[in-house]
Amino acid sequence: AALQAQADTKEWLRATAIDQNDVFTLQEDSGSRWTRPPSPFVKCNYDASFNPHTHQVTGGWVIRDTEGKALSWGSARLRTVRSPLEAEGEALLFALQQSWSRAPLKWSTGGDDNFE
């Protein structure tokens, strides 16, 4: 599943003509820019989409090093929940589970709500 998520993400990056090495410079909806983690940490950013009609959640994450280089990323359809806040929690849990096996032990998280 993780390899499929990586393949899907790479395909999306190619289709939208975004260089994956430049992804960290994109602005989030809040207008803030991605901030680098202090060395020797990596940073795991995550987000969720919530469909209020079906209650379906889709979560995504990306791990970047101190230079902003994407080291690992993925997305998945997650379980149904009752609220956008619960959706963010599911996305955080998904990101943590996926990133533990892919990154050094020193890392921090950042969602769209700036939980770091």
Task: Please state, rounded to an integer, the average pLDDT across all residues of the chain.
Answer: 75
pTM metric for this prediction: 0.61
- Exposure b/e, 80-110, CB count within 10 A at least 16 = b: ebeeeebbbbbbbebbeebbeebbeeebebb
What residues does each domain of the chain span?
43-103
pLDDT, one tens digit per residue, over 16-47 is 543 444 333 333 455 568 888 888 888 889 99
**Number of helices followed by number of strands (H, E) in the chain:** 2, 4
d(CA 38, CA 67): 10
